[in-house]
């Protein structure tokens, strides 16, 4: 396969969105895993909702709204100071253990993040996670004001990369993103860390790996 550019989803692919669990437990003992799961699911649902309603809001605002929703869902008081603290943790999400070395192993190819996150949340998490030196580009959906899996979002990424879709390898751990990117025309690698399940839409990734380290092996 010809791969001239690599585009990586950020949340759930490079960064562990559930690395907030410990911070949640500090405020709500033993609620961390459940609250984090609801927070993440609702965050994704809100991106799809506002795209379908044509009422774009930056992902940072939706992340805060989904956290508030999750707290209310679990009958936890949505204290603004606690919300502020947990939102700051989202700027300090932990990369998965292999990510820095795996991206370093891919140097020589254009390595970009392509994310639903807006730049104001992506830049800090990349810097704080130690990924700035192993990435070449940061592409956010914000300029087109729609979220993945809208085909307009992937088209924007293709334009920013300056490479035909069939020469881009898009890497994601999110099944909805895998389906969207493949439907658009990217080559797609699914990182299946959690032994998950693909969407039943008749769309398959080109490659399946268990960690980001498998991408360098594919290209070699």
Considering the domain architecture, whether residues 100 and 130 belong to the same structural domain is answered as: yes
Number of domains within the chain? 2
Considering the domain architecture, whether residues 11 and 73 belong to the same structural domain is answered as: no
Considering the domain architecture, whether residues 51 and 131 belong to the same structural domain is answered as: no
Mind telling me the catalytic residues?
A: 9
What is the reported pLDDT for 78? 87
Domain that includes residue 97, residue range: 5-15+93-219
Compute CA 197 distance to the chain's CA centroid, rounded to the nearest angstrom.
17
Considering the domain architecture, whether residues 99 and 169 belong to the same structural domain is answered as: yes
Considering the domain architecture, whether residues 147 and 201 belong to the same structural domain is answered as: yes
Distance CA 18, CA 164 (A): 34
Considering the domain architecture, whether residues 9 and 55 belong to the same structural domain is answered as: no
- State the average pLDDT for the chain: 97
Considering the domain architecture, whether residues 111 and 211 belong to the same structural domain is answered as: yes
Instruction: Output Rg (C-alpha) for the chain, integer angstroms.
Output: 17
The string of pLDDT tens digits covering residues 46-90 is: 999 999 999 999 999 999 999 999 999 999 988 999 999 999 999
Considering the domain architecture, whether residues 119 and 86 belong to the same structural domain is answered as: no
In this structure, what token pair is assigned to residue 65? Answer: 């709204």
Which residues are CB-contacts of 188 (< 8 A; sequence separation ≥ 6)? 169, 170, 171, 172, 178, 181, 182, 205, 206, 207
User: Judging by DSSP bridges, how do beta strands 168-172 and 187-191 pair with one another?
Assistant: parallel
Considering the domain architecture, whether residues 68 and 117 belong to the same structural domain is answered as: no
Considering the domain architecture, whether residues 86 and 114 belong to the same structural domain is answered as: no
Compute CA 177 distance to the chain's CA centroid, rounded to the nearest angstrom.
9
Helix (H), strand (E) at residue 197 = none
92, 124, 155 - which closes a domain: 92
What is the reported pLDDT for 87? 98
Considering the domain architecture, whether residues 25 and 83 belong to the same structural domain is answered as: yes
In this structure, what token pair is assigned to residue 131? Answer: 């990924």
Instruction: Say which CATH number the domain at 145 has.
Output: 3.40.50.1000
Considering the domain architecture, whether residues 86 and 134 belong to the same structural domain is answered as: no
Q: How many residues does the chain have?
A: 220
pLDDT at 210 over 90: yes
């Amino acid at each position: 396969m010809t791969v001239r550019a690599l585009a990586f989803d950020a949340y759930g692919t490079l960064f562990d969105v559930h690395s907030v669990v410990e911070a949640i437990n500090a405020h709500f003992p033993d609620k961390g895993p459940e609250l984090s799961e609801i927070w993440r699911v609702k965050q994704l649902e809100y991106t799809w909702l506002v795209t379908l309603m044509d009422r774009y809001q930056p992902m940072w605002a939706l992340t805060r709204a989904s956290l508030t929703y999750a707290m209310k869902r679990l009958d936890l008081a949505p204290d603004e100071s606690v919300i502020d603290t947990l939102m700051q943790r989202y700027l300090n999400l932990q990369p998965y253990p292999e990510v820095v070395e795996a991206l370093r192993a891919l140097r020589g190819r254009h390595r970009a993040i392509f994310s639903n996150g807006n730049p104001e949340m992506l830049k800090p998490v990349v810097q704080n996670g130690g990924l700035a030196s192993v990435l070449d580009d940061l592409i956010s959906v914000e300029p087109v004001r729609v979220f993945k899996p809208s085909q307009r979002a992937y088209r924007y990424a293709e334009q920013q990369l300056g490479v035909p879709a069939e020469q881009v390898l898009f890497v994601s751990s999110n099944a909805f993103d895998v389906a969207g990117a493949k439907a658009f025309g990217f080559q797609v690698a699914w990182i299946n860390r959690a032994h998950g399940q693909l969407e039943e839409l008749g769309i398959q990734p080109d490659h399946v790996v268990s960690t980001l380290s498998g991408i360098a092996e594919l290209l070699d």
